[in-house]
Structure 1
Amino acid sequence: MSLTMKNVEGFVIFLVIFTSTAAVPQLQKALDGREYLIETELKYNWHQAWHECARHDQQLVTIESADKNNAIIDLVKRVVGKSHNLWLGGNDEYSSSRDYGRPFFWSPTGQAFSFAYWSENNPDNYKHQEHCVHIWDTKPLYQWNDNDCNVKMGYICEPNHFRETYDQALKQKCEAIKITNSKISTEFDQLHAKQSLEFDSITQNVAKVNEDWKIEIQKLQNATQIAIQQIMENHEKKIRDLSDNLLKQLQDSNEQLKQSTDHMNASFGEKLKGQQAENNEIC
C-alpha cells in the first residue's frame, strides 16, 4: 500500500509534535516532598541550563545538606535509572586556583557551599577551565565533578529561591494576618457578648424600674382615692350632724313655740273666761 504526500506530511507533523511534547521535562516529586524538574537531554551548557530553569520560573538546584542530596539521588535513580551528567547550581566564580579546597558558591543564593559530594580528586579545575558543578555519569554513586561550563549536559531545576522565600514570607504574613484577624474577631465577639449582657441587664433594670413605678403610682392612686373617700365620708358625716342638729333645734323651737302658744292661749282663755264671767255678773 502506497502513502500519499499528504499522509507523509501528516505523519511528519504528528512526529514533530509528539517529539516536542515528549521532550518537555516534567516536575518530579522527591522523598523530601519537594518537586524538581530534570532534563536528561545532553544539549545545554551551564548558562543555557540556568536560562531553561528560569523559563520554567525555577533555578538550577542548590544542595545544602546530605538529606537533600539523598533525596535528589533517589529521584535521579527513579527518573534516569543511573548516574547522569546533570548541571547543578554551583560554580567557583571562575577561580584560577586548582586547589581542591577552593570555595564554590550556589549561584541562586550566593551562599558558599556548606555541603559537598565531590568525587575522588575533585574539584581539580583541569586546565583551569572547570568552574561549574554537575552530577557525573562516570561515578555510579552520583558524585559531583567540576567541569567546563560550556560542556553540554542535562540539568536539575527547583523552585526559584527568591520566589520560594517570598512565598514563605508572604505565607507567614498571611498566617500572622489570619491570627490577628482571628484575635480581633474573638475580641469583638467577646466585647459584643459583654455589651449584649450589659444591655440585657440595663433593659431588665429599666423594666423593673418601670414596673416599680407603676406599682408606686397605683399605690398613690389607691391612697388618694382612700383619702378622698375618707374626706367625703367625713364631710358627709359633718353635713348629716349639722342637719340633724339644725333639725333638732327647729323641732325644739317648734315645741317651745307650741308650748308658749298653748300657755298663752290657756292664760288668755282663763282671763277671757273670767272677764266673761264678770261681764255676765254685771250685765
Structure 2
Amino acid sequence: MKTTIILTVLLVFLCKNDVYGVPRKFAQSEMSYSADGRSNKTYYLSPDKGNFFLAFLNCLSAGMELATIESKEESATVKTLLLSTNITDGWKNGYWLSGTALAHNETSEYHWFSTGHKIIYFDWAPHQPDNTNGIERCIEIGLRNETIGWNDQNCMLSLGYICQTRGPCTYSGQ
C-alpha cells in the first residue's frame, strides 16, 4: 500500500512538473490524439535539422521518440502542426518520421524505428515511395505541390524532425 502511494505521488510530481526534458524551443502541437483513451500523443516540431539517425537520438535524449503516425487522425494532427509553421514546398524541406525500410532492403517493408512495429497505416504523397537511386529508405513528411504527405528519402539528408511524447501520464499499480 505504501509503495503504491509513493509511486503515485512520484508520478503526479513528474507529470505536473515537466521534468521529462522537453526543450522549450520545440513547437508543441495544440492537439493530441487519443484512441479510445488508450493512447495519447503530443507532437513536437524541432527547429533543428539532422539526418534520420541524429533526429532519432535528439528526440531520445529529450525524453521523447521520433514520431510515428499510426492513423488518419494522427496524420491530421501532424499536418495541422506543419501547416501552422508555414512549411515550405519541396521534399528537402520536410521532417523526419521514424519510419524506415532499412531492415528490409529487398522487400521495402517499412517499420517504425521508434517502436519496431510494422507500419500498417501509410499516408504517401502521390507517386511515393519511389526509392530514387535505390537510396531512399527513411520516411519524411513534407509539402509537395500543395499536398502534405509522406516521401521516402535518403536517411543521411539533413531535415527537420518531429518528436512525440506518449501519455496520458498514468499509473495503474495494484
Partner secondary structure for residue 162 of structure 2: strand
TM-score normalised according to structure 2 size: 0.71
Q: Is residue 2:31 matched to residue 1:30? A: yes
User: Contact 1:28/1:35 (CA < 8 Å) preserved in 2?
Assistant: yes
More helix by share: 1
CA distance in 2 between counterparts of 1:139 and 1:109 reads 31
Asked if residue 89 in structure 1 is aligned to residue 90 in structure 2, the reply is no
Partners of 2:85 and 2:112 lie apart in 1 by: 24
1:36-93 CA distance string (max 9 Å, x none) = 110244x310011111101210011011100110111111111335565000010002
Secondary structure of the corresponding residue to residue 155 of structure 1:
strand
Q: Report what 2:172 is aligned to.
A: 172
CA-CA distance at 1:31 after TM superposition: 5.0
Could you tell me which residue of structure 2 aligns to residue 61 of structure 1? 67
Range that drifts further, 24-33 or 82-91? 24-33
CA contact (8 A) 1:73 1:142 kept: yes
Q: Structure 2 residue aligned with 1:140, among 139, 143, 146?
A: 146
| Stretches of structure 1 lacking an aligned partner (at least 5 in a row) | 1-22, 178-283
Q: Distance in 2 between matches of 1:131 and 1:139?
A: 22
The alignment's C-alpha RMSD in Å is 2.5
Q: Secondary structure at the match of 2:33?
A: coil
Q: In structure 1, the residue corresponding to 2:144 is in which secondary structure?
A: coil
Match of 1:129 in 2: 135
Q: Take 2:133 and 2:88, find their aligned partners in 1: how far apart are those partners? A: 28
2:66 counterpart of 1:77: no
Max Rg structure: 1
The structure-2 alpha-carbon separation of the partners of 1:80 and 1:53, relative to structure 1 and needing over 3 Å to count, comes to farther
> Whose strand proportion is higher, 1 or 2?
2
Equivalent in the alignment of 2:38: none
SS at the partner of 2:157?
coil
TM-score (norm 1): 0.45
Higher relative contact order (CA 8 A, sep 6+): 2
Letter in 2 for 1:28: S
Q: Percent identity?
A: 23
User: Aligned-pair distance for 1:121?
Assistant: 2.1
Q: Provide structure 2 residue ranges, at least 5 long, that are not aligned to the other structure.
A: 1-23, 35-40
Contact 1:85–1:137 (CA under 8 A) maintained in structure 2: yes
Do the aligned partners of 1:40 and 1:80 also contact (CA within 8 Å) in 2?
no
- What's the counterpart of residue 39 of structure 1? 46
Aligned residues: 142
Checking the alignment, whether the CA contact within 8 Å between 2:138 and 2:155 is kept in structure 1 is yes
Matches within 5 A, 1:81-230: 81=87, 84-97=93-106, 102-159=108-165, 168=170, 171-173=171-173, 177=174
Cα distance change, pair 156–140 in 1 and its aligned pair in 2 (3 A): same
CA distance in 2, matches of 1:55, 1:139: 34
Separation of aligned partners in 1, 2:31 and 2:145: 21
